């Protein structure tokens, strides 16, 4: 598309933003994209070329799967040259997982990919969907004077804040501010103006092509510790046939019980080549395994640090790396490297 107007591709996957109340059951059900656009006549006022692609049927994001991430990536890949940016309309429930996954699947991304949705359907009077959609489109089309995009990253835009996608977490099932980025500053704030935090935005290598990846290995589990957790439970989770990696959600700065059986279970597991990544149950802060005796025991058992990763990011990064069928040592090394701005390591 050779045009002086910015061009944006809207990919509508589903979610509350495009739902309508079923008059018989009262439940929210998906409606199609044309109906959705009817509720946002403001889009016509943009001097942009806006095209759309609709999932058929649209899905509630609780049904999101890696094969659907691959579908989104294929759409972006096939349309990459024609558009300046991409906006993905997505349910909020698993939006942070999708944003994390896409940040790894779209290697050397040089264009904005902005996910958004809403807490209230776009057809309702007090909807937050219109605002989120309109500003997401504006961000997807925004460029520097030299023609490079302002935000060449996978992001979530929600309730006036633009967040790096693999740093965001859904925190609210009620209020409009549904997402937070606890461990990384917001990339932009939308008020009267959209103010970009330029120094926090990643700069890709424009001389390299964007490379799309599609494969995932889902033989992973997330295990949350709590006082009183039983050996039999840990034992059965760690012996699930085919298991390749565990995201272990520990206490505080990466601490876990020091009990002999617990450390032994972890050590035996890592010795079988299963990767165990330590992330904290706290929404803010990072794992520092050398800080307390309890953390050091985990290090000695072969557990690796997940630094300040969100759970959504840790689990999708593991599935992504395992999907590449690389040796365990390489997956461990990549888990401790910053691939797409997902962890803070010096």
Q: Which residues bind ligand ASP (CB under 6 A)?
A: 14-16, 60-62, 91-93, 117, 119
Compute CA distances 279 → 149, 229, 267, whole Å. Answer: 33, 17, 17
b/e map of 68-87 (b: 16 or more CB within 10 Å)? Answer: bbbbbbebbbebbeebbbbb
Q: Which residue among 16, 250, 269, 270 is the active-site one?
A: 16
Task: State the Cα–Cα distance between residues 156 and 70, nearest whole angstrom.
Answer: 18
End-to-end CA distance of the chain: 41
Residue 121 CB, nearest approach to ligand ASP (Å)? 9
Q: Give strand pairing partners of 9.
A: 51, 86
**What's the min distance (Å) between Cβ of 323 and ligand ASP?**
24
Give the residue from 297, 235, 293, 295 showing the smallest Cα distance to 269. Answer: 235
Residue closer to ligand ASP (CB basis): 130 or 202: 130
Strand partners, 29: 20
CB of 309 to ligand ASP, least distance (A): 22
Query: What is the enclosing helix (H) or strand (E) of 302?
Result: none
Distance CA 323, CA 118 (A): 31
Give the nearest distance from C-beta 176 to ligand ASP in angstroms: 11
Of 61 and 250, nearer to ligand ASP (C-beta) is 61
Tell me how far, at minimum, the Cβ of 60 lies from ligand ASP, in Å: 4
Residue 16 among the catalytic residues: yes
Q: Is the CB of 91 or the CB of 152 nearer to ligand ASP?
A: 91
Q: Give the span between the Cα atoms of 71 and 119, in whole angstroms.
A: 24
Instruction: Using the minimum distance from each CB to ligand ASP, give the nearer residue, 14 or 152.
Output: 14
Rank residues 33 and 196 by Cβ distance to ligand ASP and give the closer one: 33
Closest to ligand ASP by CB, 170 or 297: 170
Position of minimal CB gap to ligand ASP: 91
Minimum CB separation of residue 40 from ligand ASP in Å reads 16
DSSP E strands, the chain: 7-12, 19-21, 28-30, 49-54, 85-89, 106-107, 113-116, 154-158, 161-164, 168-170, 179-181, 188-190, 194-196, 211-212, 220-224, 245-250, 275-280, 304-305
Catalytic site positions:
16
């Amino acid at each position: 598309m050779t045009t002086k107007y910015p061009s944006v591709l809207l990919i509508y996957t589903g979610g509350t933003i495009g739902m309508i109340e079923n008059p018989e059951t009262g439940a929210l059900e998906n409606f199609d994209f044309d109906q959705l656009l009817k509720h946002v006549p403001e889009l016509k006022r943009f001097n942009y070329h806006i095209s759309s692609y609709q999932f058929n049927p649209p899905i509630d994001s609780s049904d999101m799967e890696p094969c659907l991430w691959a579908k989104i990536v294929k759409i972006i890949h096939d349309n990459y040259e024609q558009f300046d940016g991409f906006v993905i309309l997505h349910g909020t429930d698993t939006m942070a997982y999708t944003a994390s996954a896409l940040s790894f699947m779209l290697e050397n991304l040089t264009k904005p990919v902005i996910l958004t949705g809403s807490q209230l359907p776009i057809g309702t009077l007090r909807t937050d969907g219109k605002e989120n959609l309109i500003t997401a489109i504006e961000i997807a089309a925004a460029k520097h004077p030299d023609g490079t995009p302002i935000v060449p990253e996978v992001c979530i835009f929600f309730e006036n804040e633009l967040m790096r996608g693999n740093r965001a977490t859904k925190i609210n099932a009620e209020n409009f501010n549904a997402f937070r980025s606890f461990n990384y500053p917001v990339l932009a704030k939308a008020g009267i103006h959209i103010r970009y935090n330029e120094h926090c935005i990643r700069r890709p290598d424009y001389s390299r092509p964007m490379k799309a990846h599609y494969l995932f290995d889902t033989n992973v589990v997330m295990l949350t510790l709590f006082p009183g957790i039983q050996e039999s439970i840990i034992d059965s989770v760690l012996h699930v046939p085919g298991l390749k990696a565990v995201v272990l959600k520990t206490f505080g700065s990466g601490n876990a019980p020091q009990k002999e059986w617990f450390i032994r279970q972890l050590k035996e597991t890592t010795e079988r080549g299963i990767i165990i990544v330590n992330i904290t149950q706290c929404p803010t802060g990072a794992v520092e395994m050398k800080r307390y005796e309890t953390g050091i025991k985990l290090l000695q058992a072969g557990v690796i640090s997940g630094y300040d990763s969100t759970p959504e990011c840790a689990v999708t990064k593991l599935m992504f790396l395992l999907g590449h069928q690389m040796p365990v040592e390489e997956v461990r090394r990549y888990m401790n490297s910053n691939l797409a701005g997902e962890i803070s390591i010096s």
